[in-house]
Structure 1
Amino acid sequence: MESKEAGAAAAAALAATSAFTAATSTAAAPAAANKAPVPATAPVAAADTAGSSKLGLLYAVTRGQPTNYDMLVFRTLNRELGRPNANADHLAPRLRDELMPRRSWLLKHLPGSKAQLRRTLENPLWGVPGAVNFIDARTKWFDGAVAEALADGIQQVVIVAAGYDTRAYRLGAPGVRFFEIDLPSASAAKKALVEKLKFVEDPSRLPTFVAADLSRVSLAEALAGTGFDPSQRTLFTVEGLIYYLPQAAASGLLSALSGLAASGSRAYFDFMSLDALEGRGSNFPGFKVTRKSVANKGEPFLSGIGPSREAVAAALAPHGLALREFLAPKDMVGLMLPHESWSDRKPPIASFYYYAAADKP
């Protein structure tokens, strides 16, 4: 009993450093300069991007924690807890262990630590209900997008702001080229990490690492000379990035993406509910905490899209893209987490994130 209590206490302390940073990124959250273009809205009021008081607890427990590390940990939880319908990313724990050895040791050796971390993180009194499931389901959805595209004969996959995305190593197939775009420092670090951990034995199966700051060069310039073929159908994935983009950058870069995409190409992304961002409605447990947390890190939410099929289609149309798929949070639960039941008070998945895919006609 004493060891379980000690494990729970230590896990609670571990959770305190993460509990307010949930549901804000994919495998990584690179600098805002490298966030990809997608449908955006009018600028967010300055008061909503300021973060919490620097004298408060929330600031203390969120400011110093890298968001991409937190998301990597969250991606491992359901799978290692043996939860139903967990994601299949078997490489995420290896990345976690290499990048966060102390944190990994605690999770591996303290009894009950993983479950306690999840409970603390998702407590509706101070955390983000459905945060871990959000990362889990989103990982599965993007995995499915890659698998479906490859099955349909698409042979190019461009992962924008790749961070710790592992799909090139888990889902790659002969003849398929992956391009991982990230800031130069992040790209170099990722390449070294992948080589050290030997994710693939055959070097020809490695993705093309594209080191580029998309605030300084266009997407077309970044991909020039890399072997990317704009005449071929391509899958573009933009995961966990849209909500950080200001309107002008989002619109311009989305047009660039569409301009690179051959007919039959696809783009998948998740986005923020405009209702949550603008304070309409009250059914967004954990949103205020999440918003303040990312602002504390200097990564405030800047854009959203109306949470309806019609709004997303209207946002895509000016860029020559047609809506392929639209999923509200409840839809995502039914598709990826069918064992869960919906609750407005404590939703099984973060209720302010939505998901969409677009086709290039």
Structure 2
Amino acid sequence: MRAHRLELPPSLNIFEVDQPEVQARKRSKLPQELMNADNVTYVSVDFNHQSLAKQLLAAGFDQSKPTVFTLEGVSQYITKEAVESTMKELAVLTQETSATFFISYVDKCLDENPAACFGKGYPNAVKRAEAIKHFSAKVGEPWITFYTAREMEGLLYRYGFSLKENLITTDSQQA
């Protein structure tokens, strides 16, 4: 729902993509008066079973225009196969123009070694990591996929994208 929070130019076409049930829940909470209401198109997609490219094209996505994709809060909820398929589709969808991606992922160390993931001196790292995963699952959105930085970089490169910057949470908070 970033499109409604940011002061983006009204000339931009914005496609808000999410799983059908998640998008319905978000939209039900939106106020009547919204910023950018006229230039936002909602696109429902089940990343594990549907083609993102097909859903976007059916919603009016113009693949000849430069595009910015923000894939935040997606990769941890879907299978690695679905993430891979999505990246492959986006590479084909944007082959005639330029595309910039902001993609987030949950580092494998959160699942495998929380103490290292949270950093030295972080209290109760294992307990907090388990709580994060538990509460995510409790609201119907379990975290099922984790990546290392090298895996994510390899995924991007496989589909012709290059990594310009890889920030960890503490880096982005200081930026």
CA contact (8 A) 1:210 1:222 kept: yes
Match of 2:143 among 295, 301, 309: 301
Distance 1:261 1:171, change over 3 A: farther
Distance 1:231 1:191, change over 3 A: same
Match of 2:170 among 304, 314, 330: 330
CA contact (8 A) 2:3 2:40 kept: no
Cα distance in 2 for partners of 1:192, 1:278 equals: 36
Q: Shift in Å at residue 190 of structure 1? A: 5.3
CA contact (8 A) 1:180 1:208 kept: yes
Q: Shift in Å at residue 272 of structure 1? A: 1.1
Match of 2:103 among 264, 269, 272: 269
After superposition, give the CA deviation of every residue in 1:143-191 in whole Å (9 maximum; x if it has no partner). Answer: xxxxxxxxxxxxxxxxxxxxxx142453221321101123445556655
Distance 1:190 1:206, change over 3 A: farther
2:33 corresponds in structure 1 to 198
Do residues 249 (structure 1) and 82 (structure 2) align?
yes
Task: Give 5+ residue unaligned stretches, structure 2.
Answer: 119-124
CA contact (8 A) 1:214 1:222 kept: no
Cα distance in 2 for partners of 1:229, 1:181 equals: 15
How do residues 156-195 of structure 1 correspond to structure 2 at under 5 angstroms? 165-168=1-4, 170-184=6-20, 187=23, 194=30
After superposition, give the CA deviation of every residue in 1:103-144 in whole Å (9 maximum; x if it has no partner). Answer: xxxxxxxxxxxxxxxxxxxxxxxxxxxxxxxxxxxxxxxxxx
After superposition, give the CA deviation of every residue in 1:192-229 in whole Å (9 maximum; x if it has no partner). Answer: 655x52114x86x3311223434443112101232211
2:130 corresponds in structure 1 to 288
SS at match of 2:76: helix
Moved over 6 A (4+): none
Do residues 208 (structure 1) and 41 (structure 2) align?
yes
- Which protein has greater RCO, CA pairs closer than 8 Å, 6+ apart? 1
Distance 1:255 1:229, change over 3 A: same
CA contact (8 A) 1:168 1:206 kept: no
Cα distance in 2 for partners of 1:301, 1:260 equals: 27
The letter for the 2-side match of 1:293 is F
Larger radius of gyration: 1
TM-score normalized by the length of structure 2: 0.77
Cα RMSD (Å): 2.8
The letter for the 1-side match of 2:133 is R
Cα distance in 1 for partners of 2:59, 2:134 equals: 39
CA contact (8 A) 1:182 1:210 kept: yes
After superposition, give the CA deviation of every residue in 1:84-103 in whole Å (9 maximum; x if it has no partner). Answer: xxxxxxxxxxxxxxxxxxxx
CA contact (8 A) 1:240 1:271 kept: yes
Q: Shift in Å at residue 281 of structure 1? A: 4.8
Indicate the percent of aligned positions where both proteins have the same amino acid.
23
Q: Shift in Å at residue 292 of structure 1? A: 2.6
SS at match of 1:250: helix
TM-score normalized by the length of structure 1: 0.41
